[in-house]
Structures are given as structure tokens and as C-alpha cells.
Structure 1
């Protein structure tokens, strides 16, 4: 554990690579800090009297705790930062490595690369001016604006001339799109390892969003939908949502641990990347992809819901499911993975499903499940490949899935 930091205040640094583990001489307060964030790492005592810290498929940089319990956690990806940035971009709907938005070779960490790419996307979004829209408000004012809320006025201020309970539509910059954008800008400004030039651009862009209340990490994101008016915002917004999601961590125990920084859940990034690419590449096959549909029921009583990572539809009917696994495939898939896809196919009345792993070697052939008539095929999409080759492999995967995405001749037993 080194003692170098990236700001004026020096804190100990714990560095890991994804799911690797290492032994560190932690103080009791630092152990308590790490135990409070089980999403990030697992902490167990070592026979040497020190502590073994293991990663949990997260990457990024985050400062945790305060006082004697303060430390900086640096979680590095196994694959090159440039490759991972490409996945993040596709997952957020903005293929940044194709646009040349960031010189990854000059960037030391994934966090710095994401911050640089987001700053440039946000700059592009705001180059056309700050977006304004109408927001419905209900307030107590000293003058009439919009319409008087008669019921509220009589119920709260009977006989009082002012203030007036009014409702009006306010044309403002404080809309969902700007709130999400500003929330991500402010979050990235506070992250360790963001280079000075990027931090300056983030600060400049934040200053342009006057009168906007930023979304705070952990708070629900306001809803927005893509329109012609906010089209230039869309790439930055999708990446902003990933940044804000990576700034919110479930904490165990009390009191809460102070957290500055952000991390990415690589399983979620892989799932979003796969969904985005399949949605794009399967369109020529006349099918439509839906991600994480929550309307499916596993039991006839409709009490148990399930959400396949990707459900492929043809003419409104599900024809296959795809489950993403951010794991290395070694030999045959675990039985639990096969059972998971089998249950999806059974409930939806499908005769085939797919497992897609992020590394390893593909199995010899499909798995025909005994007594069910269901076939599960395991594929490998190696994320460590160069972008051009990964793109080619993804297209081949989509072709294999699309060519077999045909509805059953029998009636569906879908419980949706």
C-alpha cells in the first residue's frame, strides 16, 4: 500500500486489478471503511496478521472514509483503458473511441479517460446553447403568475390576500437534461486522478448551467426522452447516467462512509454494450431487442418476476433470450448459468437461448437440454480484442443469434 495521493491531502492507496486480491497492512479504521462498501471489495483477515482485499468486478478511483479511516481505492481494468472506454461509450450510446474524442494513450487511468471523453461530449452538447424547457411549478407568490390554485388558497390561506398559491409553467434551464449533465460534471470534478486541463473544462461547463440544480449521486435520475430538441445532448446524457450510477454505492452498516469518486460496474457495462450492439445489428433480421424487461413472470400465479438481459422479439413475440456474463468461460458453462437460461426459455415458450461470456474459449457446440426440447448456446465475446476485431466478432455473434431467431410453430407458453 503506497502513501501517494492525487490531491493536497495524502492518503494511503489500495490498488487492485478488477477481481484480483492482495494483502495490505490496514488499520482497524481502514478495515471498517472498506467493509462498509461491499460492492467494491471483499476484506478478509490474512494469516500474516494483515488483510486481504479482493476486487468485485468494479473499476475506477474512489476516496473513502475520513480521518484515520481514509484511503484511496484504485481499481484497474484488465483490458486496455482505450478498449474499455470504447465499451463504456457504446454502453452509453456514444462510441467515443471511434470519434477520437480522447487521446487514451496519454491518459493514465480509466477515470481520467472517462472524464475527458465526457467533458468533450458535454462541450459539444452545450456548443449550441443551454437547452431550456417548460417545467410545471406550484408555489406561493406575492403576485399572480399562471393560475391561482383556489383549493390550496382557501385551504391554507383563507382570508389572506398574499401570498397566493399559484401554478404555472416556467420556461427554465432547470430541466432534467441539464440537471443530469451538471450532476455528472460536478461529480467528475471531485474525482481523484482527473487531469488539470479536463478539470478546468468541467469547471467551465458547470459555470454555464446557471440556475440548474444538479442531480446528486444516489438520488433517482429525473426522466427524459430523446427528441429533436435535445438530440445534441443525448450522447453526453447517456454517459452522464453511467457516471452518476457509478457514483452511488450501497453502504453496509452505520455511520455512512464519505465517498468521493466513481467506479464502473463492469458486468453492467458489458451487459449494456452487448444490448446496444445487438439492438443495432439485429435490426436487418426483422427482430427487436428489449433490455431488462420486467413484465415477465416465472410462475402461473404471476408472483415471481424475471428480467432476461436481452429479449429478442419478432412481430411482438419473444423468439430468444440472451444472458450476458462478465466472466471467463473455462470449459462448459456452470450448471447454474444453463439453468437460468433454461428457466427463461421455459417461461417464455422458447426453444433456444444464448449465454455470452466476456472472455475465454467457446464450447464445442450447443447444449440440448434433456427432456425439454430447449437448446442453449454459449458464446465468447473477448473484450480484450482490439476495437476493429471486437466489432467483427460482435457482428458474427449477432449473425448467429439472428439467423436462429425464429418463433416456435407451437403456441407460446409465455407468462408475460
Structure 2
């Protein structure tokens, strides 16, 4: 049984629709996806909540609600933020006109095209350690296991290295291809391409549902897999939603948290520029130096270190800076970070703003300055990266050194 198809823009007044109690229950079960409020005439208003993607929600009666969350950024610009990696010349292909307004079809098509280029050059093989019982000796005998056996000497407990395609890189890729082929809104032609690509990975085991992604180490041997694995991990990590009062649950869809996308891009792109200047960027570290008892935990988006000492702190805000000054909440948050780290200067970086250029805010009785910057995301990649470099220049100019020097991550 199917329910309504709801397309909710990220910004603006949202949409007003008639919904049954069953459908409202499905939307309220995952409260972070949209903001749901009553509207006149017994209807409901749905507004965006900084999410993008497509998800099919199940109602208590077993019906389905298809929810499309449309980002304010053009899909091509959002794909660039998602795919950016330091020192990597690869850039996502342009999206087609049919995909330009919908994120999920664009991501699925990009995954199929990138996987095809990768696998056309051959399936990556690697060595995997196998332990099993065989009727003959292969590799090394597992002596301790073999000596514990009573009776016949066969089978033999052995351990050997197998040259196989069943390695972490291919398991991640296969699982993402299979998942993308099942997602709602993926065009039929893209589904066929994704399933055909799965056939290239014979002998590879998909990951169990809900299992953590296996680790793989970038190297010269798997370098050509880098772009497609970033896309595969994106598809797999965006498959969960957070039900009210419960743990993350696998959803039939693809949902991005846009503040996380902005924060990751800023961390990677800004860190790449600052690394060339001898400054290391650490993201989401926990610090406990705000109060004497060290009971208050702070987790800044980005702490900058030079020679092991914190020299600045940056917080990413995926909101519009609509006034000349940041909100008191944002200023207070940066003030806490600077106080805990012993820093005289901190930075707020907004995804957009009504005015160009940074604004400086000296906090009375503290000697701490908070600078607010805007980084417009709807611009060509080269211009956006140039703006990040300018931002790095402004931050570096204030990173003269801390008043005190707490240890990294303390």
C-alpha cells in the first residue's frame, strides 16, 4: 500500500498537505527529517530541516510515505562538496538535465559511471588471511588448534594467504552498488547499470546489513578505487535515519545531514591549505578545560595547531548570517571554546550571508575577538576553493599563538 509523495524544499515556508493520522505518525517517528506543524483546515505544514535526499517511511499500518528533501544548493554544487578530497584531481561528472533537481538520481548515476570506469580497468585483488580445515596442508598448520584434536589427523587446521577479490574495497563497493539499485527514485536505466556492475564483482561477499564499514588503507595499489569508494561510503553512510527515542535505523532511502556536509568540506578544504603553512587541523576533538573540575566537555568543529600548540578555533555554521553580528548563542559558543583553549581569537564560518567580508566582534571584559566569515557555496569549484584559501589567509593572520597551551585533545 502506498501513500503520498511529498517534496519538501530545504528553505522557505514549506508545503501544506492533508495527511492521515497514520502518515503523521510515520513523519513524527523520525522528527529530524522535516518540521511538522498543524495548518488551517486540518492540514499539516512540512518545512525543511537541513536535510537532503529521498526516503521511504513506513507508517504504523504498513503503508509508505515517499519523502523527497530538496536541497537549496544546486545538485552539481552539493556533489562537489561531497566528493572533495585534498590533492585529488578527480571531480564528479556533470549531472544531466534529468538529474539536476534531484539528489538521489544524481548520486546513483554518478556512482554507476564512476564504478564503471574503475572496474573497466580490472577488479582489484589482494591477499586475505584465511583460517579453515582442509583435507591437505596449505600454507601453515595452526599447530595449537591441530594438537587439541583427538583421533584422525584430517582435516588439517591451516592458515594461508589467499589472493582474492574478496577484500574490503570490493566489499564496500559491491554493497553500495546493490543498495543504490534498490533505492526509490533511481531511474530504471541506472538500476540496470548498477546491477550489471555487481556482476563484475564475482567472489566478493556483500557486507551484512547494519555491519560497520571495513577499513581500507589508501595505497598506490588501490589509488584508482579512491573516487568510487568515497561515493560508495557516502551511499552507505546516508542510509540511516534516527527514529524518535531509538538508535539509528536503516531506511529505504538516502538522507544527508547538510550541516555535516558543510563541516566536513570546510575541515578538508581548509585543512589542506593550512597544512602547507605548518598548521594542523583537528576536527571534533573533545576538550575539558572550561571549568576547574573539568566536567564540561566541549567539541569544537576545528582546532588549529602549530608545533603541537592550539593557535585558533573554527566553528562551521550551515545557516545564513542575516545580520551584521552573529547570534548570542554562536558568540557564546566560540567564547567558550576560546576560553577553554586559552585563545585570544576564534572564527565562525557561515555557509552564506547578506554581506561580504569578515566582521570582528571584541567581547568585553575578556580580550577575546570572534570573527564571523561567510563562505558562499553556490559558486564554481575553482572560485569556492579560492574563497577557502582567502579564508585560510584571514585565519592564519590571527593565529599568533595561545595565551596558555593545553595539550591536544585534553
SS in 2 for 1:174: coil
Q: Give CA-to-partner distance per residue, 1:273-321, whole Å, 9 cap, x none.
A: 1112112222343322222234x33456666543322222212222111
Task: Answer whether contact 1:89 1:95 (CA < 8 A) is retained.
Answer: no
Q: 2:189 matched to 1:197?
A: yes
Q: Give CA-to-partner distance per residue, 1:240-264, whole Å, 9 cap, x none.
A: 2222111122223689987322111
Q: Map 1:19-168; keep pairs closer than 5 Å.
A: 19-20=11-12, 21-65=14-58, 68-90=62-84, 99=91, 101-107=93-99, 108-153=101-146, 157-159=149-151, 161-168=153-160
Task: Answer whether contact 1:93 1:235 (CA < 8 A) is retained.
Answer: no
Task: Identify the residue that residue 385 of structure 1 maps to in structure 2.
Answer: 379
Q: 2:171 matched to 1:188?
A: no
Q: Which of 363, 377, 386 is the equivalent residue of 1:369?
A: 363
Distance 1:357 1:106 in 2: 31
Task: Identify the residue that residue 286 of structure 1 maps to in structure 2.
Answer: 278
In the alignment, structure 1 segments of 5+ residues that lack a partner are: 1-8
Q: Give CA-to-partner distance per residue, 1:339-364, whole Å, 9 cap, x none.
A: 22222222222221111111223587
Task: Answer whether contact 2:7 2:67 (CA < 8 A) is retained.
Answer: yes
Task: Answer whether contact 1:92 1:242 (CA < 8 A) is retained.
Answer: no
Q: Give CA-to-partner distance per residue, 1:65-91, whole Å, 9 cap, x none.
A: 166530111110112222222222226
Distance 1:328 1:177 in 2: 39
Task: Identify the residue that residue 6 of structure 1 maps to in structure 2.
Answer: none
SS in 1 for 2:41: coil
Task: Answer whether contact 1:279 1:289 (CA < 8 A) is retained.
Answer: yes
Distance 2:248 2:398 in 1: 50
Task: Identify the residue that residue 219 of structure 2 maps to in structure 1.
Answer: 227
* Larger deviation, residues 53-62 vs 30-39: 30-39
SS in 1 for 2:42: coil
Q: 2:392 matched to 1:398?
A: yes
Distance 1:311 1:255 in 2: 29
Post-superposition offset of 1:93: 8.2
* Larger deviation, residues 141-150 vs 241-250: 141-150
Task: Identify the residue that residue 4 of structure 1 maps to in structure 2.
Answer: none
Q: 2:304 matched to 1:312?
A: yes
Distance 1:211 1:379 in 2: 51
SS in 1 for 2:376: coil
Distance 2:206 2:28 in 1: 29
Cα RMSD, aligned residues only: 3.0
Distance 1:310 1:254 in 2: 29
Task: Identify the residue that residue 264 of structure 2 maps to in structure 1.
Answer: 272
SS in 2 for 1:318: strand
Give the TM-score taking structure 1 as reference length.
0.86
Task: Identify the residue that residue 288 of structure 2 maps to in structure 1.
Answer: 297
Give the TM-score taking structure 2 as reference length.
0.87
Task: Identify the residue that residue 5 of structure 1 maps to in structure 2.
Answer: none
Post-superposition offset of 1:10: 5.7
Distance 1:404 1:165 in 2: 63
Q: Across the two proteins, how many residue pairs are aligned to each other?
A: 403
Task: Identify the residue that residue 333 of structure 1 maps to in structure 2.
Answer: 326
Post-superposition offset of 1:17: 0.7
Q: Give CA-to-partner distance per residue, 1:99-127, whole Å, 9 cap, x none.
A: 46133434241111122222222223223
Distance 1:65 1:93 in 2: 42
Distance 1:19 1:285 in 2: 37
SS in 1 for 2:240: coil
Q: Give CA-to-partner distance per residue, 1:151-184, whole Å, 9 cap, x none.
A: 44566x5446445444333322222111111222
* Larger deviation, residues 334-343 vs 228-237: 334-343
Task: Answer whether contact 1:94 1:239 (CA < 8 A) is retained.
Answer: no
Q: Against the structure 1 CA distance between its residues 43 and 217, is the aligned structure 2 distance closer, same or farther, given a 3 Å change threshold?
A: farther
